[in-house]
Amino acid sequence: MSAEPPLRLLLVEDEPTQLLLMQRLLRRAGYAVETASNGEEALEKISSGRIQMIVTDWDMPGMDGVTLCRRVREAQPQLPGYLYVLLLTGHSSTESLVTGLEAGADDYIRKPPNEAELLARLKAGQRVVRLEQSLREAKDKIQQLSITDPLVGTYNRRYLNDQLIHEVERARRYARPLAAVMADLDFFKKINDQHGHQIGDDVLRGFVDLAKLSIRQSSDWIARYGGEEFVVVLPETDVPGAARTAEKIRSCCATTPFATAAGGLVVTASFGVAALEAGGSIASAAESLLRQADGALYRSKHEGRNRVTIAGGPKPDRHS
């Protein structure tokens, strides 16, 4: 099984001697074997999500192997990965084999199984399990890449747009506060012009590292909004709380030189803080939250940079 971890296999068999024999055989073949003596017990163990393959007897008291196959396929959407099922059967008619396969078995083997054949069939099953696993991992990786900013490793704007909607929904549903901080590095263009884009990139990454130290890892998150502009989303946070976080990042930024290939560079940043307002549709509330944070950020820039500005009150009628 090369360097990969052993496959976690569930052996379901009601006859104790047969169970013991097969368990030994499968363990020797390198599988991490768990056992169950009937369908109900098997389903219970499967629900943990850690089982990757099942070898099940057909005839068992209570839930039989064919019913177990059906139940496994019903449960499949809730399981983390594909569950491969090999059915052991004393029923040798074509009709019953068809029944077993249609119930959801991937393969079958007649009882008593020939050891070499059983292991060979399981090996074929393993290939299916590993293939499905690698496809799933590739899909997760692509999914992760599609929401990540490639330069600084934060979430990107696409994620911000989608996820902010969910945050607004959640905040509304549970009547909880939600705040956003918009941050923009001051005179960033000068850094790129003076030192080149690689140094500029170092500064962006340095800013993200520093901002991450000031937020709650469990709930707050950062997205790159554009060039040198970032949004920090703070669930369960009111305006004073968000302003404290912004101030923490600001003062840290102003006092800590960023380590770059051109040496330590002090770069300041400006901030705008806003909170979710009541009323309006979810989409318009999310949009308004960003717009207000952006407006407050604009005021920070206008009033001298390197500062935190809070968007005006819960009912702003400032539209300029």
CB nearer to Mg ion: give 57 or 229. Answer: 57
Min separation Cβ 12 and Mg ion, Å: 9
CB of 281 to Mg ion, least distance (A): 59
Q: Read off the tokens for 207.
A: 């800013």
Tokens of 247: 């101030």
Of 55 and 211, nearer to Mg ion (C-beta) is 55
Binding residues vs Mg ion (CB under 5 A): 14, 57, 59-60
Neighbours of 11 (CB within 10 A): 26
Q: How far is the CB of 65 from Mg ion (least distance, A)?
A: 8
**Residue 165 to residues 26, 158, 161, 178, 315, Cα–Cα distance (Å):** 49, 11, 7, 11, 21
Neighbours of 199 (CB within 10 A): 18
Closest CB to Mg ion among residues 49, 112: 112
**Residues 242, 292: contact at Cβ < 8 Å?**
no
Number of neighbouring beta carbons within 10 Å of residue 61: 9
Q: Which residues of 220-246 are buried (b: 16+ CB within 10 A; e: fewer)?
A: bbbbbbeebbbbbbbbbbebeebbebb
- Three-state secondary-structure class, residue 155: strand
Instruction: Check if 102 is active-site.
Output: no
Residue in 34, 41, 228, 229 annotated catalytic = 228
Residue with Cβ nearer Mg ion (59 or 287) = 59
CB of 134 to Mg ion, least distance (A): 35
Could you list the active site residues? 228
